Amino acid sequence: MMQIKLNNRDEKINANYLTVRDLLEKKKYTFPYFIVKINGKLIKKEEYDKAVINDGDDVKVLHMMAGG
């Protein structure tokens, strides 16, 4: 079990090892385009499988929606 901040909310995640990809799957985020930051650092799509989220991390996942 680990606890992170996800979009400014405390979130308990049932995992000992968590990548960005795991988080997106666990939270069932379905939009195709995101901006992901861990502790303020930008994580690009190519890094989703490798980027590890640790206990206590501040994670932001922003959906990009079409329209303008």
Partner 1 sequence: MTFEQIKEKLQKFTVGIAGCGGLGSNCAVALSRVGVGKLVMVDFDVIEESNLNRQYFFYDQIGEKKVFALKSNIERINPQTSIEAHDTTLTEENVPEIFAKCDVVVEAFDRADMKKMIAETVLDNMPEKPLVMGVGLAGFGDNNSFGVKKMGNLYICGDGETETSDDLPPLAPRVGIVSNMEANQVMEILLNGL
Q: Which residues bind partner 1 (CB under 8 A)?
A: 31-35, 37, 40, 42, 44, 60, 62-68
- Tell me the closest approach of the beta carbon of residue 29 to partner 1, in angstroms: 13
Nearer to partner 1, 39 or 54 (CB): 39
Query: Which residue from 30, 35, 34, 37 is spatially nearest to 4, judged by alpha carbons?
Result: 37
- CA distance linking residue 4 with residue 58, whole number of Å: 6
Nearer to partner 1, 16 or 40 (CB): 40
Cα separations in angstroms, 57 against 11, 37, 61, 66: 10, 10, 13, 29
Nearer to partner 1, 19 or 60 (CB): 60
